Structure 1
C-alpha cells in the first residue's frame, strides 16, 4: 500500500513542476562555489572577501522571505513565485557580464531577492497539495531533487569554470523558462479567503513562539551554518591548497555529498516510519560533528570521500523531516508565512555560516574552520537531544 502511495505522489504532474522550482532555487550558490578560487585570482581578491559573493546572495532572504510568505498567503502562491523566478534569472545571468566586484555584489544581492521566495514556497505548495504520510514522502522526494541539483550544479559549475569564472552564472537563465511553466501549467490549491491581517499576525506570532516550532527553526539554522560555513565556503580552498584540486575536482567532491543526500531523502518515508522525526534530527547533528572533524584530519583525497558522503546523508534525512514538522503543524492560510520564516532562518544560517567560518579562518586558519564546525555540530546535537520533542 505504501508503494502505491509513493507512486501516486511521484506521478503528480504539478509536483514535478515544483521540482523544477526546487532545482532553480539551488543554482545561486552550488554552481558558483567551485569558481570562487578563480574569481579571487582574476579580480585580485582575498579568500575571505570573495566568499562575500555567497553572503550577499543569501542575505536578502533574511529580510524578504517572511514578506514573500505573507504575500503568498494573501494573494496566492503563483503570484509570488513567477516574478521571483524572472528576477532570479535576469539578475543572476547579468553577473556573467560584470568586471567590477562592487557591481557584481549588487547584482548578487538582487539575485538573492529573487531567490528569497523560491526555497520556501516550493515547500509551501507541497504542503498545500498533500497531507499526512504523502506530505512526508513528497517533501522527501523534493529534497532528493534538491540533492540532484546540489550534486549536479557543482560539477557543472566546476566544468564551466574551466572555460572562465563567468560561465557558471549563465545557469541562472534556467529560471526564465521555469517561470513560464509555473505561470501556465501549475495547478495548485490557493488560500481562498485571506485571514484579517490583525488575526493573521497575532496567530502567526503565537505559533512562532511555540517551543516545537522554535526548536525546528534552530535545527534549520544550525544545519545551514555548517553547510555554508564549512562545506560550500571553505572546502574548495581546503581541496585546492591541500591536494592541488582543480575546480572540476572540487565540484565532483561537493557533488558526492549530494549523492547521499539524495539517497537519504528518497528513502525518508521508510526511515521516518521506523525512527521518528526526533531521532532523525538529533542523529544528523552527530553525523555532522563526526564528518567535519574527519575532513580536517584526513590527508588522503580518496579517503576524503567518506566524511563527505556522511555529511550529505545527514542533510538528506534531517532537512525534509524539519520541513514536514513545520508544514504539518499549521493551517493553509498561514503556511506560506511559516515556511518562509523557515527559509528566513535558513538564509540566516547561510549568511552567518561563511561569516563565522571567516572569523575562525582569520583567527586559527583552515583548521579553525573545521574544528569550529565540529564543536558547533556537537553543541547542537546536545541542545536538540535535551529540548526537541516528538
Structure 2
C-alpha cells in the first residue's frame, strides 16, 4: 500500500525538459486515450440494440443518464485535481473503469446496462480535467495546440481504434461482448503502464506559465516562490470570467455533429445508407482518422503562427459549407469507397476548428490563473457532457419524428451560429503582427 501511495503521490519539483517532458506528455495523452476507449459502445450499437430488444429511444435515455453522471463527475473532481494533484484521481479511475468494461459482458437487460453505464461514466468523468491539466503542465505555449491535438487523440483515436477493431474482429467473433473483452484487456494493461510512469508537477510548478521549452532552465532559478493563493486554487475563481463560459458553451454546441457521429455514427450509416454493421464501423473509422490528422496539422500551423482564433474560424466556415453537401447525400445510394472519402472530409474539417480552440481555451484559462487548468477543463467537460446528453436524448426523438438529415441540420445550424460569436470573446490575436519571425504573441 505504501508503494502504491508513493506512485500516486509522485511530484516533480523541477520542470522536466527534453525527452523526459515529451515522455510525460505522451503518458498523459495515453491516459486520455484509454479513458476514452473504455467508454466506447457506438461500434456495436446496432448489435446491442437487437440483442437486448432495445429501441433507439431507450438507448438514448440510458446514454443521457450516463452522460449526466460524467458531467457531475467532471465538475466535482476537476478542482480537487488542481488542489491535490491530477495523478491521485486519474490512475484509480483508469483501473475502476477497466473493471466496468469487463462487466459489460454480463449485461442482459436494459436495467443492467443503465446501472453499469452510469457507474462507468461517473468514474470515467475524472479523466477529462486531469489529463487536460497534465497536457497543459507538460506543454509550453509555443507547442500548446499541437500538444492538445495529440490529447484529442483520446476521444478521436479511441473512436477510430474501436471502429477499426470492431470492423476487424466482429466478422470473427460475431458477438458484441467480444469488443468489451478486448477493450477491457487493452485498458487494464495500459493502466498498469501509466501507473508506473505518470507524474505530477508540484503545486509551485503548476502555478507557472511556461512559454517555450527552451526558457525553463534559465528562468526557473529566477522564479519567485508563489504565494499560498496561487498554489491553493479555488474553482470559483475561474467561474468569474464570462469569456471562459462563452468559449466552453460555444465549442460544445459546435461539437453537436461530432457528438452525433461518436454516439450514433454506425447507426446513422446503417439507417441512411443501408450498410451492414461491420461495413459501417469500418467506414466510420476514417472519420476519426482524418479528424486526427487535421487536428495535428491545424495545431502545428496554429503554433507556428501563434494564432488560434483565425485558424479555428476557417475550419468552422469550411465545415458549415461542407455539411450542406454532405446532408444532400442522404437518401441516395453511395458506394462504400466514396463514403469513406465523404466521412473523412467531415471529420477533418471539425478537426481544423477544434484543435486551435483547445490551445486558445487553455491559454485563456492559464491567464486567469495558471493553477486552475483542471478546473477550467472540468467546466468544459461538464458542458460537453450536457450537450452530449442532449444528443442522446433529443436526436432519437427527432429521427423518429423525421429523419437523420433533420437532426444534422439542427446540429450544424445551432453549432455554427453559436460558436462563431463565442470565438470572438476569446482573448488573443486574430492576425500576426508585421514583425518578422514567429515570436510569441501575448494574449490581448
Give the TM-score band, short-chain normalised: 0.7 to 0.9
The counterpart of 1:310, out of the listed 345, 349, 366, is 345
**CA distance in structure 1 between the aligned counterparts of 2:141 and 2:424, rounded to whole angstroms:** 27
Q: Which residue of 2 aligns with 1:169?
A: 180
Stretch moving more, 113-122 or 316-325:
316-325
Shift of 1:95: 0.9
Shift of 1:60: 1.6
Shift of 1:231: 1.6
Say whether residues 1:268 and 2:306 are aligned partners. no
Stretch moving more, 274-283 or 335-344:
274-283
Stretch moving more, 150-159 or 290-299:
290-299
- Extract unaligned runs of 5+ from structure 1: 1-6
Name the one with the larger helix percent: 1
Retained in 2: the 8 A contact 1:293–1:370?
no
Structure with bigger gyration radius: 2
Are residues 172 and 293 of structure 1, via their aligned partners in 2, closer, same or farther at CA, if it must alter by over 3 Å? farther
**CA distance in structure 2 between the aligned counterparts of 1:194 and 1:53, rounded to whole angstroms:** 46
Shift of 1:89: 0.7
Shift of 1:76: 1.2
Q: Provide, for residues 201-247 of structure 1, a one-character-per-residue CA deviation record: whole Å limited to 9, x for no partner.
A: 3xx4343342331222023311332222x323343233213433122
Say whether residues 1:143 and 2:149 are aligned partners. no
Matches within 5 A, 1:1-390: 12-29=22-39, 31-144=40-153, 146-162=155-171, 163-170=174-181, 171-192=183-204, 200-201=233-234, 204-228=235-259, 230-272=260-302, 273-274=304-305, 276-298=307-329, 299=332, 300-301=334-335, 302-328=337-363, 329-330=365-366, 331-384=369-422, 387-388=425-426, 390=428
Retained in 1: the 8 A contact 2:257–2:408?
no
Shift of 1:26: 2.0
Retained in 2: the 8 A contact 1:22–1:119?
yes
Retained in 1: the 8 A contact 2:153–2:292?
yes
Are residues 206 and 236 of structure 1, via their aligned partners in 2, closer, same or farther at CA, if it must alter by over 3 Å? same
Shift of 1:125: 0.5
**CA distance in structure 2 between the aligned counterparts of 1:208 and 1:8, rounded to whole angstroms:** 35
TM-score under structure 1 length normalisation: 0.87
Stretch moving more, 335-344 or 242-251:
242-251
**CA distance in structure 2 between the aligned counterparts of 1:366 and 1:257, rounded to whole angstroms:** 17
Stretch moving more, 117-126 or 290-299:
290-299
**CA distance in structure 1 between the aligned counterparts of 2:227 and 2:298, rounded to whole angstroms:** 33
TM-score under structure 2 length normalisation: 0.77
Shift of 1:144: 4.2
Are residues 184 and 333 of structure 1, via their aligned partners in 2, closer, same or farther at CA, if it must alter by over 3 Å? same
Are residues 52 and 292 of structure 1, via their aligned partners in 2, closer, same or farther at CA, if it must alter by over 3 Å? farther
Aligned residues: 379
Retained in 1: the 8 A contact 2:65–2:118?
yes
Q: Which residue of 1 aligns with 2:437?
A: none
Q: Indicate the SS of the match to 1:20.
A: helix
Shift of 1:45: 1.4
**CA distance in structure 2 between the aligned counterparts of 1:118 and 1:132, rounded to whole angstroms:** 22
Q: Provide, for residues 313-348 of structure 1, a one-character-per-residue CA deviation record: whole Å limited to 9, x for no partner.
A: 233233332222232232342222112111112212
Retained in 1: the 8 A contact 2:247–2:423?
no
